[in-house]
Structure 1
């Protein structure tokens, strides 16, 4: 049995649940949160950063005492934006006091508002505590976290892993929904082999936890400098960021850490629109030619900085990216 914390969409009630599986978590959590039994199959389980937990294997990787949110289709979940606003209210900046008067603060023009909040944080750099790592030395930084991490670096390492794991599990789920996977056992074997290869490769590199770890040593890849400062790498079709103020150090303060959760690891060549459909085509080609899928190529696009860019929310373009995969790299 492992213990977790469960709350509803509005976070109005938090309960503890001891369980051995995701399904058992949902059943017990619904009972404790007084959610009708008939609605259990519709429950969406997600982490605080919005990552959906819909896979038993992914669920087993979550540490004990992780907080999980239950919601139903159509329900408004208390978003990262809401959490940020609540946290930054405590700083008592004048513009936040004024914003408190508007109930629409986090419902319209989100990107510009996050930009404004980020600028405030940059002006109040907490350089004194930036270099403190242990929870004993900067307990405020860890306030509100459900984590066993004893240092900032350990926590950030795990957050990076969570993002990469999320890409893996979402990709696996999308691939298995394809008609070819469902209907052709040889095709299914090809995809299953690629998925298993991805798992082994990611395990070997610790799911790229070093991306957010300022103490990571070469040749391990990291996206920040030794102080822990991250710079926006710019919108997907540009080589650099167009904004001089798109940088942040989540090691500075609790508020900066929360703001950093809105920064995105963006796929230049899009994961769901482009990479996964290309992988399905590669599987078909491999069957037809009796060859092997070029797993390394697709791995690099899905999980590495060959295709991933760390971007400020303003530079995260959710529209279609006009980039395609290289068909000559599909098989080997």
Structure 2
């Protein structure tokens, strides 16, 4: 009696890596799998059907509840489907649809009112319009708009950008030499400052941090130029997973300038005052300048953070008292 009323239902089915959908009618799961495998040329052994929307596997009982024209995906043995996310991943993993995606995103953005959707579309556009594989000024002139003509490659400019930030930290040390009250302290701090400058020159002002052509162990980005936020000073990683590729476009390059190389142990509040205090009754030669160099200029104490993750309040971290003074007459020289 049941089979008299068990009519075939229409579905739209597609393969795992295909965008084209096919119409198929079936009265039960067995028939659906048989027709789907034949239509899409998928081996029947281990094959299964799931909902396109969220990847829910369609069982015999679930089949009976499905409305007409439900969109389905046919999977071969070992394949999994996570829903619409899979489609997005496949689209972004190929350049074949990049131009179409850019045009579609721009069209949607023009009429979109939701701020959340606008942000998603804007971020998508920025990342799709990626020219990070291009390195020279000649190949990507738009990226170099506003950049001094002496820079012929993106990596050279990014190295200079990092060096400029490190040099600004050195300026603050030099400023402290002029504000120290005691002449003797000023003289010793000046010696320390000269030593820091020598170490920085030897390390090329640690410009390697932003240079994607440097060794993996020395740069802060991937070989393609992607930087990942390392989280605020009191976190092990960034909870929001902020990332950016300043090599990709002029806009991303400019936005990256708002990211901070943040001192965990603070430069103005803690490190420089600690150095001044240590020099009150001692010569610079008895101070562990290598330790202060690491705190001021290297990844030992610097974290690259998105502007949102940059906490401007007092960090409350102090220098290690046992490391401030050194038994060595000269500091060790380090690159990073």
Alignment TM class, shorter chain as reference? 0.5 to 0.7
Shift of 1:331: 1.4
| Residue of structure 2 aligned with 1:253, choices 249, 254, 262 | 249
User: What is the match of residue 143 of structure 2?
Assistant: 141
Alignment of 1:73-222 (within 5 A): 94=109, 120-121=122-123, 123-126=125-128, 129-180=131-182, 184=183, 186-217=184-215, 221-222=218-219
Post-superposition shift, 1:327? 1.4
Matched, 1:240 2:242: no
Match of 1:302 in 2: 296
Matched with 2:311 is: 317
Give the alignment of 1:223-234 within 5 angstroms.
223-234=220-231
The number of residues matched between the two structures is: 220
CA deviation string 1:121-165 (max 9, x = no partner): 455314652110011111111112234110100110100000000
SS in 1 for 2:261: strand
SS in 2 for 1:256: helix
Q: 1:208: Cα distance to partner?
A: 0.6
Q: Distance in 2 between matches of 1:210 and 1:330?
A: 27
Structure 1 vs Structure 2 CA RMSD: 2.9
What is residue 270 of structure 2 aligned with on the other side? 274
8 Å contact from structure 1 (residues 175, 276) kept in 2 = no
TM-score (norm 1): 0.61
Post-superposition offset of 1:188: 2.3
CA distance in 1, matches of 2:127, 2:185: 53
When the two structures are superposed, what TM-score results if normalisation uses the length of structure 2?
A: 0.60
SS at match of 1:280: helix
Please give the alpha-carbon distance, in whole angstroms, between the structure 1 residues aligned to 2:318 and 2:109.
Answer: 46
Displacement of 1:172 after TM fit? 1.3
Contact 1:165–1:207 (Cα < 8 Å) also in 2: yes
Superposition deviation, residue 189 in structure 1: 2.4
- Which one has more relative contact order, counting CA pairs under 8 Å at least 6 apart? 1
Contact 1:291 1:331 in 2 (8 A): no
Does the 8 Å contact 2:109/2:122 carry over to 1? no
* Contact 2:185/2:279 (<8 A) preserved: yes
Counterpart CA distance in 1 for 2:279 and 2:309 is: 33
Distance 1:176-1:237 versus aligned 2 partners, 3 A rule: same
Deviation at 1:285, TM superposition (A): 4.2
| Aligned-partner Cα distance in 2 for 1:118–1:156 | 27
Instruction: Describe how 1:1-12 pairs up with structure 2 within 5 A.
Output: none
Aligned to 2:6: none
Structure 1 pair 145/121, CA: closer, same or farther in 2 (3 Å)? farther
CA distance, structure 2, for counterparts of residue 321 and residue 236 of structure 1: 7
